[in-house]
Amino acid sequence: MAKKARPRAATPALEVLSAAGVPHTVHEYAHAEGETHFGEEVVAALGVDPGRVLKTVVTDCGGRLVVAVVAVSQQVDLKALATAVGAKKAQVADPAAAERSSGYVVGGISPLGQRTPLTTVVDVSALDHERVLVSAGRRGLQVELSPEDLVRLTGAEVAPVGR
């Protein structure tokens, strides 16, 4: 008798969306082991406009961890991010610190359901789209939702932090 495949456990990000009753669509794809260009991998695997796929970058803004959410087609403008959160400067956080704080692994860090809620800034360009995709909390798993719901659920500020 064949065993039924057990569905994979929901991630904290998906649990947040379900608990809030937010309409969303989960997209799963095969993550290539060793791939480190996670955003580009999502775009290629799902055939989605790179402006709609958002990456989550944990940064260190004057000793305080801050989440920046920008399109994969952009880079975080660290100077603009520092200004947005009232810090003198910003830099990408140490990956181990980002993983400890978020509870997710690099390449699967979601802005939703983080272990330690952090100040979050979503780039203003996200609002140009009806639906955006962010990591659902593990490599190979994305969730599609409205940018307004993303901002609301993360308590994010919206500012021009992508370039």
Q: Which residues contact 127 (CB under 8 A, 6 or more apart)?
A: 147, 148, 158
With beta carbons less than 8 A apart as the criterion, state whether 93 and 65 touch: yes
pLDDT recorded at residue 9: 58
Q: Is the pLDDT of residue 34 over 50?
A: yes
What pTM does this model have? 0.90
- pLDDT band of 38, cuts 50, 70, 90: confident
Q: How far is CA 146 from CA 23, 24, 54, 79, 133, in A?
A: 8, 8, 12, 27, 9
Quick one: average pLDDT of 134-143?
93
Residue 70, classed as helix, strand or coil, is strand
Q: Which of 144, 140, 143, 135 is nearest to 30 (CA)?
A: 140
Q: Which of 133, 142, 64, 138 is nearest to 101 (CA)?
A: 64
Sign of the alpha-carbon dihedral angle for 160, 90, 40, 146: negative
- pLDDT band of 33, cuts 50, 70, 90: confident
Please indicate whether residue 100 or residue 40 has the higher confidence score (pLDDT). Answer: 100
The beta strand positions in the chain, using DSSP E, are 25-28, 54-61, 64-71, 91-92, 119-123, 132-138, 141-145, 157-159
Tokens of 57: 């970058």
The domain 37-159: what is its CATH number? 3.90.960.10
Express each pLDDT in 95-135 by its tens digit: 999 999 999 999 999 999 999 999 999 999 999 999 999 99
pLDDT recorded at residue 8: 52
Where is 154: in which H helix or E strand?
helix 147-154
- pLDDT band of 5, cuts 50, 70, 90: very low
- pLDDT band of 7, cuts 50, 70, 90: very low
- The CA distance from 84 to 145, in Å, is 24
- The CA distance from 119 to 113, in Å, is 13
Quick one: average pLDDT of 20-25?
95
Express each pLDDT in 56-96 by its tens digit: 999 999 999 999 999 999 999 999 999 999 999 999 999 99
